[in-house]
Structure 1
């Protein structure tokens, strides 16, 4: 995660977000209390509420910061490659790196959304929007050269399928606590890509 500046105003806020990130990811949102976040971040209660009027506000701030960092890395990785197949492989390399760094904890966005049963929750709305942004990056930056070659419906179907394989693989890796769902999804994505150009039957 990026760090904010070292000014007296920004440092407590960043400590709160860093602490919440660790606790939300390890314990879950509902099992993490505000008092624990305050104690472990080393800030005063008044300082916490000055930055975050509620725990939900803190959760959204954490998701925004996580998205900024994740999206930057995602774009940098795929933009290094000239072919769609290599860009897809780069996408899955991110999952392998995330598994190594964070363990089989899955997707922080999906984990967070799963703790809110209300479909109108701002948390769930943010996660839906985040996932839509990921899907659009796959369509517009990973598969961009395929758009002109395919009918719009076929292209959208391809983008949806590759996005679903990619996003679902990290969840199944969490479920099985193994790498094989990521490996299987990568192979299936490459086959879909080849099939869309008639390279395989």
Structure 2
């Protein structure tokens, strides 16, 4: 299916915003830089995004959809219900390697803009809650050892994934995500 001209421009803007917001940060990225690097007219940007906040929210929404789709696809490839939970760690290891251990885009956005902008914070919270809900669904289907309740195991996996991603970005390696995966494996 052929993209409409407007969607091509939006994608160009969002591709540029994603690269800049992720690599140099929300605060360090100006609208004029996005316009220049996307090679678009200022009017084109403002036709689709009324403000920098709206651009950030759209970037987070698009990123969230792509990230979640990749996560679901990675987990669906696994048939064993317990290994589906471990696949979440494998997915995050892979994503961190692809992003050269740059960390979580949502955490980065929260650090800069989520603390002051409720629209941005709401998008970040939505993404993180969706991950927690996804983990909860998999935990309920896993038949785990019941060392922890389903809720406790869900929280533990969520926190181990989130902490492992942060550690990967700090140490520029996946060792802590691998260690978290091994710990969770013992609880399954």
Residues 43-58 of structure 1 mapped to structure 2, 5 A cutoff: 43-58=40-55
Give the drift of 1:55. Answer: 0.6
Aligned residues: 188
1:47-73 per-position Cα deviation (integer Å, ceiling 9, x unaligned): 110100001101111111111111111
Runs (5+) with no aligned partner, structure 1: 194-201
1:134-160 per-position Cα deviation (integer Å, ceiling 9, x unaligned): 0000111x2232479869x82101111
1:147-186 per-position Cα deviation (integer Å, ceiling 9, x unaligned): 79869x8210111111110122111110111221111111
Residue in structure 1 matched with residue 95 of structure 2 by the alignment: 98
Residues 24-173 of structure 1 mapped to structure 2, 5 A cutoff: 24-116=21-113, 118=115, 121-140=118-137, 142-146=138-142, 154-173=149-168
Q: Report the structure number with the largest CA radius of gyration.
A: 1
Give the drift of 1:45. Answer: 0.4
Give TM-score, length-normalised by structure 2: 0.92
Give TM-score, length-normalised by structure 1: 0.86
- Return closer, same or farther for 1:120/1:26 CA change in 2, 3 Å cut-off: closer
Residue in structure 2 matched with residue 191 of structure 1 by the alignment: 186
- TM-align CA RMSD: 2.2
